[in-house]
Structure 1
């Protein structure tokens, strides 16, 4: 089955592979907490990461997206999915990790206009341990296109978050338009 011409394909949303990189063996939070019990300083460091002796996993690994946001110094608080042309902006996400460590978390995003890819973002988020507090990551600033041609259509976006195990934690489509004003 072929993808709709405006949608990002699976190939476009596949993370870049680093030649020679091999994903390490996964260990549970409990297994990591049990390592090197005799090293007091290492145990303190692991406790600061949430890997202390009481770090019992309560289920399977989960990444929960809380928000995907757009920020700009000129952005008004009342925003729909319209981006002001020629303005600098950043995309960011807020998420939590539950139960086990997630390694190699990545954000991928493909922007298309009239079925043609006009932008692709791939950002490494890193590895995260489980905790109640949310993590927030803001990506590098970009400048939105400007001019009459840039304002003449709708931009289709597909955003995805994956990890080293190729688990897809988020995959959704959205869109925006460009305008002279917010």
Structure 2
């Protein structure tokens, strides 16, 4: 199972091509600034100060013994009438077990993907979530979602994506593998991992 080191530049190898973010023509990443530089930027501008506060620039920046800037805690499927189906991705030990312990998804069910994460030490700009779904080694789906830009704070953030519908029908039932990645505007991969799910006619 792949579990790429945290905060490493993304490789451009062919095997990772599908997990590289889509590039917007003409878009340039802004100059990176430290927390202190952002705090002091146009200090008299009230609207800018409110924006800086919304990023959590006045909050604690995170533990000194944990250098990670993005700490992904969980990936969940929110389904009406049921408890969330949650993947705990908070530690390397939890990640190792995901691929061999598939979650069950009932065919045709509507769900929303939900991510819980923390930001530490620095502002993270343009954080994205990308995943590629395969069945029997063949790519059947790719999704890329913008999460946003966030400042460090003690409390976790939560991002919920638009509703989707799981495939249905006899042909769609079976085992699927997924490779997920969290990457930002600086092309830094904060987490990459594999997991799996089974589409079944009914819930287990």
TM-score, scaled to structure 1: 0.84
Which of 153, 172, 182 aligns to 1:150? It is 172
User: Alpha-carbon deviation of 1:36?
Assistant: 2.0
Where does the alignment leave 5 or more consecutive residues of structure 1 unmatched?
1-7
RMSD of Structure 2 on Structure 1 (CA): 2.5
Distance 2:36 2:71 in 1: 21
Which of 62, 72, 78 aligns to 1:71? It is 78
CA 1:47–1:83 in structure 2 vs 1: closer, same or farther (change >3 Å)?
closer
| Structure 1 residue matching 2:143: 3-state secondary structure | strand
CA 1:55–1:41 in structure 2 vs 1: closer, same or farther (change >3 Å)?
farther
* 1:9 is the counterpart of 2:15: yes
Distance 1:172 1:135 in 2: 20
1:109-151 C-alpha deviation (Å, 9 max, x unpaired): 1111111111111001110001111111111211111111211
The structure with the larger Rg is 1
* 1:62 is the counterpart of 2:83: no
User: Alpha-carbon deviation of 1:51?
Assistant: 2.8
State the aligned residue count.
173
Where does the alignment leave 5 or more consecutive residues of structure 2 unmatched?
1-13, 87-101
Partner of residue 167, structure 1? 188
Distance 2:113 2:50 in 1: 35
Which of 108, 118, 125 aligns to 2:147? It is 125
